[in-house]
């Protein structure tokens, strides 16, 4: 007998496979789809208890967040996204701020060989992330449940942030944790473009904002990522 979380996970996987096929994106790791199905099942089990997402029982919503999380890897194929080509390659160390439900960190870790540190101060959510990473077989992930100012140093090549905090907070944290020439990858909406561009001034080179759309049911949602390089 198939339980509800398994059915949700299979449906979410199917939606992701179809959406990525439509844009011609083939995740570089051959076990990616198996891993996101495992992730979706774990999220469906934990989601309602920990309030991880607004609709953990909805495969369409899970698929939406998975596809959105992949934006840096998809956009890296474009000329404007060339700066992202090596961001998630083997040997790159990525810090994800406020990892919460695992978007984008666990999805990017499932799709790329980079090493990921997931920063999540809320202990129950950190526990979820640890369980999900183990269930997915992600040896390239570790979870840090401490506050960044207490434990983190400028040792990272990339900092990612999706629904973590306002852009100025993201950039202040990134400035303290990135190596020189390291990248900030911040997810946002078109309405946040100016705030992202202004927040990056000072310690970072001018931000490149890359627009994209994510399918959500019968509609498409406009999003963007800002990519900023830490000054030497």
- Looking at the predicted structure, is the pLDDT value of residue 153 above 60? yes
Other Cβ atoms less than 10 A from the Cβ of 149: the count is: 10
Residues in the chain: 232
Peptide bond into 104 cis (omega under 30): yes
Q: Would you put residue 98 in left (φ > 0), alpha (ψ -120 to 50) or beta? A: left
Average pLDDT over residues 5-28: 95
Question: pLDDT grade, residue 1 (50/70/90)?
Answer: very low
**pLDDT, position 65:** 96
Our CA angle for 9, 14, 18, nearest 5°, is: 150
Structural domain boundaries in the chain: 4-229
Tell me how far apart the alpha carbons of residues 82 and 19 are, in angstroms, rounded to a whole number.
Answer: 23
Q: Is 211 helix (H, G, I), strand (E, B) or coil?
A: strand
Q: What is the mean pLDDT of the chain?
A: 93
- With pLDDT > 70 as the criterion, what percentage of the chain qualifies? 96
Look up the CATH superfamily of 4-229. Vaccinia Virus protein VP39 (3.40.50.150)
């Amino acid at each position: 007998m198939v339980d509800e979380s398994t059915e949700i996970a299979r449906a979410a996987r199917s939606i992701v496979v179809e959406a990525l096929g439509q844009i011609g994106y083939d995740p570089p790791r051959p076990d990616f789809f198996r891993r996101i199905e495992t992730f979706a099942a774990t999220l469906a089990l934990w989601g309602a208890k920990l309030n991880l997402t607004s609709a953990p029982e909805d495969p369409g919503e899970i698929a939406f967040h998975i596809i959105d999380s992949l934006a840096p890897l998809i956009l890296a194929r474009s000329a404007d996204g060339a700066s992202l080509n090596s961001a998630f390659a083997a040997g790159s160390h990525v810090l994800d701020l406020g990892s919460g439900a695992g978007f984008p960190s666990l999805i990017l870790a499932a799709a790329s060989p980079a090493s990921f540190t997931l920063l999540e101060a809320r202990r129950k959510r950190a526990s979820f992330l640890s369980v999900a990473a183990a269930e997915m077989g992600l040896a390239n992930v570790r979870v840090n449940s401490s506050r960044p100012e207490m434990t983190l140093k400028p040792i990272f090549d990339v900092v990612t942030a999706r629904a973590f905090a306002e852009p100025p907070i993201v950039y202040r944290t990134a400035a303290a944790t990135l190596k020189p020439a390291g990248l900030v990858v911040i997810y946002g909406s078109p309405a946040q473009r100016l705030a992202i561009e202004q927040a990056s001034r000072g310690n970072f080179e001018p931000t490149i904002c890359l627009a994209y759309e994510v399918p959500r049911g019968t509609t498409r949602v406009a999003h963007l990522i800002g990519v900023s390089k830490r000054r030497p």
